[in-house]
Amino acid sequence: MLPVSDTSSMIAGMNPCRVPGRWVFRSVAETDLPRLLPSALAVFREAEGVSVLVPAQDDERAMAQITLKVFSSLEGVGLTAAVSAALAEAGIACNVIAATQHDHIFVPEDRADEALALLKARAEEEAA
């Protein structure tokens, strides 16, 4: 399957799906990575240190993952903007990680169902 780069097609075909799990972003020391890597979903090195996305503990305010099933091109323009605009309008914070096959949206766990419904509605609106 070839990646989609047309803005309208990416939005209409985003097919957002909630992924099981509870996640938190943390800043950690490089020396902590060997312990965290087996459970880390993502790692990013910044000038200030290492950021990891790891499973949340029971008492932590967690993020939920929504994966956009469209195979969007890394050179596509507008999908992230459409997603973040739809969520921002509803006051839902989001963190986006673009991978080679899909985009992954992390939203506060207590607003995940609302975010998913908004993204599905935005896709349907674009398809119409």
pLDDT at 1: 76
Confirm or reject CATH 3.30.2130.10 for domain 7-22+61-127, answering yes or no: yes
pLDDT above 80 for 83: yes
pLDDT above 80 for 62: yes
The full set of domain ranges for the chain reads: 7-22+61-127
pLDDT above 80 for 42: yes
pLDDT at 11: 96
In this prediction, residues 104-128 reach a mean pLDDT of: 97
pLDDT at 2: 84
CA 64 to chain centre: 9
pLDDT at 90: 98
| pLDDT category of residue 28 using cuts at 50, 70 and 90 | very high
pLDDT at 50: 95
Please state, for a pLDDT cut of 70, what percent of the chain lies above it: 100
| pLDDT category of residue 88 using cuts at 50, 70 and 90 | very high
Sign of the torsion formed by the C-alpha atoms of 6, 7, 12 and 14 = positive
Please state, for a pLDDT cut of 90, what percent of the chain lies above it: 90
In this prediction, residues 115-128 reach a mean pLDDT of: 97
